[in-house]
Amino acid sequence: MTQHEHRAVRPETRTTDPAYVGLLKQVMTNTLDEDYRAVAERRGSQNRPGVTTTRVGLMAVLVLFGVMVGVSALQTEQDRPRAMAERAALIEQINQRQARYDDLREVIGDTLRRVTRLQSAVAAEVDGNGALGSRIATLGIEAGTLAATGPGIVITVDDAADGSATLGGTILDTDLRQLVNALWESGAEAIAIDGHRLSTLTSIRYAGQAITVGYRSLTPPYTVSVIGDPDTLPSRLLETAGGRMWQGLEANFGITFDLATAERVTVPAAPRDRLVYARPEKAR
């Protein structure tokens, strides 16, 4: 037997750790995707606000809104008595000033009537035949300081009935001024628009959305009362430039222009305006 034949052959044996086998089996059967998914879900749940936090924030907003509404309502309720008191005081002030204005107008009327009587008395003493008194009355009528009554015409003008205000169917302040100037040119002795006497100091103009005559707002239709010769006024009016203009307004824009003669027309006295006189400046 050779040396190789006498060498003992030792069988190779291996021992396996049970823990190692279990871990290997788990790795083979379970992939790592589930672990990644679990970690991602856990992180996502940590980043999202919880339901409780959302509800708390919503409740806080509602409470704040309720407090603001309550404070506003309370402030309004507290300010209401003061606002009502201020409104009542303002109304009372307006009523007092209106009453004062009416009283002053009555005083002015009484004073004017007294002045007229004194003028008549003085004229009667100075001029026995009354020529001076007649002259004073004539001047008063021409100046508008005295009321006047006599024959004449009454003109009623109004905007177009079809409402064509944007197409020229509305009476303007310049239209009334043209009519008044044409009446003076035609021989009118006294004129009043809607009961407001015209004098050399009376203005006719637009103020806001209305035409004002002597700072009094008027609304259409406008009634123009004229004292003068009823036989010649209508024809002479139509011969003036202002009369022809009004004929064009009636024909082209539908503005109403009605003229009627009257045996008795009454116009009031014009209010007395304070006159302002120019004074020369003293030499320096």
Residues 123 and 65 in one domain: yes
Residues 70 and 162 in one domain: no
Structure tokens at 115: 């002045």
Domain boundary among 115, 143, 171: 143
For 215-258, how does the pLDDT look when each residue is reduced to its tens digit (9 = 90+)?
A: 888 989 999 999 999 999 999 999 999 999 999 999 999 999 99
| Helix, strand, coil share (%) of the chain residues, nearest 5 | 55, 15, 30
How many CB atoms sit inside 10 A of residue 185's CB? Answer: 15
Residues 196 and 91 in one domain: no
Task: Report if residue 157 sits inside a domain.
Answer: yes
Q: Whole-prediction pTM value? A: 0.55
Closest by CA position to 227, among listed 269, 256, 165, 167? 269
Distance CA 134, CA 145 (A): 14
Yes or no: say if 175 and 205 are a contact pair by the CB < 8 Å rule.
no
Q: Which structural domain range is residue 23 located in?
A: 16-47
Residues 125 and 182 in one domain: no
For 66-112, how does the pLDDT look when each residue is reduced to its tens digit (9 = 90+)?
A: 888 888 888 877 777 888 888 888 888 888 888 888 888 888 878 87
Residues 38 and 53 in one domain: no
CA 253 to chain centroid, in Å, comes to 28
Burial 171-180 (b: 16+ CB within 10 A, else e): bebebbebbb
For 199-218, how does the pLDDT look when each residue is reduced to its tens digit (9 = 90+)?
A: 888 889 988 788 999 888 89
Pairing between β-strand 222-227 and β-strand 148-158 as defined by DSSP bridges: antiparallel
Task: Report if residue 217 sits inside a domain.
Answer: yes
To the nearest whole number, what is the mean pLDDT of the chain?
78
Task: Report if residue 83 sits inside a domain.
Answer: yes
Yes or no: say if 275 and 200 are a contact pair by the CB < 8 Å rule.
no
Residues 40 and 55 in one domain: no
**In total, how many domains does the chain have?**
3
Residues 230 and 126 in one domain: no
CA 37 to chain centroid, in Å, comes to 70
Task: Report if residue 58 sits inside a domain.
Answer: yes
Task: Report if residue 277 sits inside a domain.
Answer: no
Task: Report if residue 5 sits inside a domain.
Answer: no
